[in-house]
Amino acid sequence: MWTNYVPPATNSKAIHDQNFTGKVIEVASGDCIVVADDSLPFGDPSAERRVNLSSIRCPKMGNPRRDEKPAPYAREAKEFLRNCLIGRQVQVSMEYSRKVSVADGPAAAAGATDLRVMDFGSVFLFNPAKDGDVTRSAAGNQQARANIAELLVARGFANVIRHRDFEERSNYYDALLAAESRAIAGKKGMHSAKDPPVVHITDLLTASAKKAKDFLPFLQRNRRMTAVVEYVLSGHRFKLYIPKETCSIAFSFSGVRCPGRDEQYSDEAIALMRQKIMQRDVEIEVETVDRTGTFLGTLWEARTNVAVALLEAGLAKLQTSFGTDRIPDSHLLVQAEQSAKMKKLKIWENYVEGEEVFNGSSVERCQKEELKVVVTEVLGGGQFYVQSVADQKMASIQKQLASINLQEAPVLGAFNPKKGDIVLAQFSADNSWNRAMIVNAPRGVVESSDDKFEVFYIDYGNQEAVTFNQLRPIDPSLLSAPGVAQLCSLAYVKVPTVEEDYGQEAAFWLSEHLLSGPKEFRAISEERDTSGGKVKGQGTGTIFKVTLIDPEADVSINATMLQDGLARLEKRRRWESKDRQLGMDELEKFQTGARDKRLGMWEYGDIESDDEESAPPLRKAAGKH
Class of domain 202-349: mainly beta
Structural domain spans, the chain: 12-191, 202-349, 362-391+484-625, 392-478
Banded model confidence at residue 40, pLDDT cuts 50, 70, 90: confident
CATH architecture of residue range(s) 12-191: Beta Barrel (2.40)
| pLDDT (tens digit per residue) in 136-187 | 443 444 346 789 999 999 999 999 999 887 788 899 999 999 999 999 999 9
Do residues 503 and 566 touch, judged by C-beta distance below 8 A? no
Confidence band of 33 (pLDDT split at 50, 70, 90) = very high
Spatial distance between the Cα atoms of 20 and 186, rounded to a whole number of angstroms: 34
Tens digits of per-residue pLDDT, 568-577? 998 887 666 7
Question: How long is the chain?
Answer: 625
Q: Does residue 10 carry a pLDDT above 90? A: no
Q: Which of 282, 332, 284, 285 is nearest to 311 (CA)?
A: 332
Smallest CA-to-CA distance from 146 within 179, 120, 187 is with 179
Task: Decide if 12-191 and 202-349 have a common fold.
Answer: yes
When mean pLDDT is compared across 4-8, 268-272, 303-307, 559-563, the lowest value belongs to 4-8
CB-count exposure of residue 355 (10 Å: 0-12, 13-18, 19+) = middle
User: What distance in Å separates the CA atoms of residue 125 and residue 92, rounded to the nearest whole number?
Assistant: 9
**Dihedral sign for Cα atoms in the order 269, 275, 278, 281:** negative
Structure confidence by residue, pLDDT tens digits, 96-142: 988 877 654 444 444 445 577 889 999 998 765 544 444 444 344 43
Work out the average pLDDT over 328-340. 86
Q: Are strands 295-301 and 281-289 parallel, antiparallel or unpaired?
A: antiparallel
Number of Cβ within a 10 Å radius of residue 580:
18
Distance CA 97, CA 316 (A): 39
H or E segment and range at residue 268: helix 266-277
User: In 3-state terms, what secondary structure has residue 374?
Assistant: strand
Pick the range with the lowest mean pLDDT from 208-217, 547-556, 562-571, 613-622: 613-622
Q: Any idea which architecture 362-391+484-625 has in CATH?
A: Beta Barrel (2.40)
Give the chain's radius of gyration (CA, Å).
Answer: 34
CATH, range 392-478:
2.30.30.140
Least confident piece of the model among 88-97, 284-293, 354-363, 424-433: 354-363
pTM assigned to the model = 0.55
